[in-house]
Amino acid sequence: MNIEKAIDKLKEKGYKRTKQRERILEIFSEQDQGYIPAKTILKEIQKDFPGVSYDTIYRNLYLLAEEQVLESTELDGEKHFRFHCDTHGHHHHFICTGCGKTKAVEFCPMDKIAQSLDGYAVDDHKFEIYGKCPGCL
Amino acid sequence: MNIEKAIDKLKEKGYKRTKQRERILEIFSEQDQGYIPAKTILKEIQKDFPGVSYDTIYRNLYLLAEEQVLESTELDGEKHFRFHCDTHGHHHHFICTGCGKTKAVEFCPMDKIAQSLDGYAVDDHKFEIYGKCPGCL
DNA sequence: TATTTAATTGTAATGGTTACGATTAGATAC
DNA sequence: GTATCTAATCGTAACCATTACAATTAAATA
Ligand SMILES: [Mn+2]
Ligand SMILES: [Mn+2]
Ligand SMILES: [Zn+2]
Ligand SMILES: [Zn+2]
């Protein structure tokens, strides 16, 4: 995912191009090594827009996640976001609890268990691995 | 897991047997169909102990999770708990977003990806499936 | 430039969780 | 049973991420 592609996607849906929204996307493209907590986005964007409000941050992060520009997860009770990985197919992540960086894991357990959930309607799933990356060891 | 086994486990570690702690364990044994939010535990225990404090609830839930009497997860930004499943081996759960009931999924994806994380130290992992159970469909 | 509507701001409320000093009550020894 | 020790609880407030909303601003379009 990249900025222009994301903005085009929003434009098609009737969302406007704003400086704040653009800056949020920039932050993600500058540092796409892992999940970023909402708090960090806020602090970073405040350097350019000192009066930015919580509403703006969360509204945009949720919108971008809804539009699949970002993907989100919850770590330590805080919502984290990153650019949606669309270079390869659906996959999951190892998340380093030291530096926050992630490593793709090219395997989805849902393939293996579909038949065992006969009669159940599966809406979503979460598979995450936590630990320390080589750099943090 | 059952109440007496849990209390014995605590006793061995030097923790005391209290009425409040016992009641918490009872609540889990009465309703072990799925994860229960901390809030529900509080409300339930207040019927017997009207003045019970947050501190007591959380301290006990965390202690019991630490001692592997309970297992925990976070759903919708709230911590949920259930008796630790020790009747069979390590497994994961389908969680119904309608009624909260869970269904064991006898498959752990970690077996399949161990070699792909060479050089990484894996501390933990989470695999959960969300959707509607037959009863809620 | 006027109009329309999405977006932002400023600020307060919400709600789950955490913290802590004072008090109570299990457990053990005598 | 009483004294002693320390875990556990209580009462209450603080914390902090998130949510809410009325007033204002700014992007898009004609
Ligand atoms: Mn990825
Ligand atoms: Mn189970
Ligand atoms: Zn998957
Ligand atoms: Zn597992």
The topology (CATH level 3) of A3-83 is Arc Repressor Mutant, subunit A (1.10.10)
A48 CB below 7 A from strand D atoms: no
* DSSP-assigned beta bridge partners for residue B103: B94
Q: How many CA atoms lie within 13 A of A67 on its CB side?
A: 19
Q: Over 80: is that where the pLDDT of B1 sits?
A: no
Q: What is the pLDDT of residue B99?
A: 87
For chain A, which residues make up each domain, given as ranges? 3-83, 92-136
Q: Which two tokens stand for residue A92?
A: 């999951």
* Residue B39: nearest nucleotide (C-alpha to C1'): C16
Q: What is the pLDDT of residue B122?
A: 96
Q: What is the pLDDT of residue A15?
A: 97
Q: What is the pLDDT of residue B68?
A: 94
Task: Judge: A107–B117 Cβ closer than 8 Å, yes or no.
Answer: no
Query: What is the tens place of the pLDDT at every residue in B67-123?
Result: 999 999 999 999 999 999 887 889 999 999 988 899 999 999 999 999 999 999 999
Give the predicted TM-score (pTM) of the model. Answer: 0.91
- What mean pLDDT value characterizes chain B? 94
Domains B3-83 and B92-136 equal at CATH topology level:
no
Report the C-alpha gap between A43 and A30 in whole angstroms: 15
CB A1 within 8 A of CB A84: yes
Q: Which CATH architecture has domain B92-136?
A: 2-Layer Sandwich (3.30)
Share of chain A above pLDDT 90, in %: 88
Task: Judge: A103–B120 Cβ closer than 8 Å, yes or no.
Answer: yes
